[in-house]
Chains A and B, each alone.
Chain A
Amino acid sequence: MTALLVDTSTAATAQPDAVRRRGGGLLRAVLSSKKAVVGLVLFLVFCVFAIDPGLFTTVDRPNELAFDPSLAPSSQHLLGTTALGQDIWAQLVFSTRQSLVIALVAGFFATVLSVLVGVTAAYLGGITDDVLSLITNVFLVLPTFPLIIILATYAGKGTLLVVLIVLVVTGWSYGANQMRAQTLSLRNRDFLESARVRGERRSYIIVVEVLPTMTSLIVANFLGAALYSVLTAAGLQFLGLGDPNSSSWGTMLYWSQNQQALQTGMPLWSIAPGLCVALLGVSFALINYAFDEISNPALRPVRRRRAKRSRA
């Protein structure tokens, strides 16, 4: 064999857009951002509440009218009781589960739909792109809240399933545009052309070659969709479009408003669930910071520790 230039160097050349390795890399990326760590901790706290509410309260059935109504906060009722005689803290803890489920499930399916539509539209191009983009943009432009209300009312007063469907239907279009934009920018990269020339099928290229390069964006999208779902679900339930007998923060807000909690001197009944909704949303937003920084290096904080002048 002809002696060729044998390249044995092991030093890595730093490239400007180094993509971290998956798996361990993602976790490391999240942990390196302080904001994301705060968000993650918050999220984990809520997860524990959702998994085992019994750890935090002795009450079994929070919606049961078991106590004296309108009590102030005390050692037995950390946040007091509602006008109907329910322990507010217990309700809060048990409600975490539904709110978290809504956020994660609706977020997940909305993301799946965004990715499917956005990536396919961009990769296939032509008429497919035109049609899918039209659909995306129509959904994007429709005024969501009136749409939600109509859908929810039409579907009958909301079981959880209805709420989830409504959230997914109204929440996928924003992400779809982002996915499409990102895929368009990737479409003419040589490694995709290389896969085409290799003879790979289109479906393979989209799933195996394109999607893995977009993981940060997809995760960021998911977090955004989850945030949207938490807030919108709370809004829907507050308006009475959810199931008023269920255990969720939005329903608590509905009842507290119904019973005029703020005006009758029981502000905690409204503030507590509202705060929880906000905190869960904030946790997603904070975790999202880490992913923004990964996918867009321009957002990374510039270490302003400038090199010092040593001599004039």
Chain B
Amino acid sequence: MPSDRVLDVRGLTVEYGTDAGAVVAVDNVDLHVGPGEFVGVVGESGCGKSTLLFAIARLLSPPAAITAGTVDFRGDNLAAMSEKELNVLRWRDLSVVMQSAMNALNPVKSIGAQFRDTLVAHGNAKAEIANRSVEVLKLVGIDPIHLRSYPHQLSGGMRQRAMIAMALLFTPELVIMDEPTSALDVVAQRSLMVQIKELQERLGFAVLFVTHDMSLVSHFSDRLVVMYAGQVVESGPTRTVFDQPAHPYSRGLLDAFPSIRGPRLHLTGIPGRPPELRNPPSGCRFHPRCPVEMGHCKAIAPDLYPVGTSHARCLQHVPAADTAAVMP
């Protein structure tokens, strides 16, 4: 039921004002996250996933702005709230983990001091602060002695965990993560993801996870949303998207991963490159690169059509009932 959803984004559009007119970075995106769900948003550079994330978290700065749509977070439209209202629920109900802890953590303050800042900002008493800080570090597997450490004294993996600990200070309902593993090595990456999953099971929060590493997120997410050129092109349960990708882009992307186990096949990737958002291709934005382009794809812009348990933005899947209305 839609009312259970922790996050319900509808028709979200984000535009950048440039000298040459507005550039649409996120185009009419629908997205939802249920309680305790792990939703992965994947796509390559320029697809708009990070912009989408920032828009949801209301962290956009000019010249970018939300120009349409709603971001429903437990009944409140984040897109329409003022800074003051947002500050009440920021971190308490909704927190954000950034890509690079080195950039997000204050290098001249100890970890403990940063936790304290956050706790004080939300009105916690002194005694609670110390306890909560220790508790939260233990949750992520860091020795509480590191409350005294500075960010540069911790390894990359530990810093990311400290960021996650900080994000969990108030056991929010939703944690938004922007590529938190991309600066880590493969073993540390896996370990961090496993940790996040464990915490999720223990504390019950939902996760919206943005990444370019489809391969990694596929092992941990419940649902997957694939973005291309500012639009959602496929979304559905993770295994379905992986085993039966309904959109040619998703299929192409999956095929571009060389496998480690299993037969050694020749791969071809996807020819061409992602379009300029200033001037996206007409009709289906993927048509110039699509191996199954059908002629009318350059004229008609597809909607998201249901395909089994997922949805795909591809004219191959126009439901029979709508064919007459959609096709030329």
Contact = CB atoms under 8 A, between A and B. Distances in A.
A306 interface: yes
B273 interface: yes
Contacts of A309: 65-68
B276 A308 contact: no
A306 B62 contact: yes
A149 to B, nearest CB: 42
A5 interface: yes
B143 interface: no
A7 B271 CA distance: 8
A305 B65 CA distance: 11
Contacts of B273: 7, 9, 13
A5 B271 contact: yes
A201 interface: no
Using C-beta atoms within 8 Å of the partner chain, give the interface range for chain B. 20 to 34
Contact of B276 (A11, A303, A306, A307): A11
B25 to A, nearest CB: 10
A302 B62 contact: yes
A198 interface: no
A111 B275 CA distance: 44
Contacts of A306: 17, 62-63, 65
Contacts of B272: 7, 9
B259 interface: no
A21 interface: no
A248 to B, nearest CB: 44
Contacts of A194: none
A106 to B, nearest CB: 38
Contacts of A189: none
Contacts of A310: 13, 67-68
B68 A304 contact: no
Interface string A162-188: 000000000000000000000000000
Contacts of B276: 11, 13-14
Contacts of B70: 312
B144 interface: no
Contact of B63 (A5, A11, A13, A303): A303
Interface in A63-103: none
Given A11-B276, A302-B62, A307 B17 contact: yes
A307 B271 contact: no
Given A9-B273, A13-B276, A305 B17 contact: yes
Interface in A13-30: 13-14
A307 B16 contact: yes
Interface in B5-23: 13, 15-19, 22
A231 B268 CA distance: 65
B75 interface: no
Contacts of B269: 5
A307 B22 contact: yes
A98 B83 CA distance: 58
Contact of A304 (B16, B19, B63, B275): B63
Contacts of A308: 67
Interface in B66-93: 66-68, 70, 80
A312 B66 CA distance: 10
A112 B275 CA distance: 44
Contacts of B66: 309
Interface string B268-310: 1101110110000000000000000000000000000000000
A307 B15 contact: yes
Given A308-B67, A309-B67, A303 B271 contact: no
Interface in A266-312: 302-312
Contacts of B13: 310
A306 B15 CA distance: 9
9 contacts: A14-B276, A303-B18, A303-B63, A305-B17, A306-B17, A307-B67, A309-B66, A311-B68, A312-B80
Q: Nearest 8 A-B pairs (CB), nearest first?
A: A307-B15, A307-B22, A307-B67, A306-B65, A307-B17, A305-B17, A307-B65, A309-B67
Given A302-B62, A305-B17, 6 more contacts: A307-B15, A307-B22, A307-B67, A309-B66, A310-B68, A312-B70
Interface of A: 5, 7, 9, 11, 13-14, 302-312
Interface of B: 13, 15-19, 22, 62-63, 65-68, 70, 80, 268-269, 271-273, 275-276
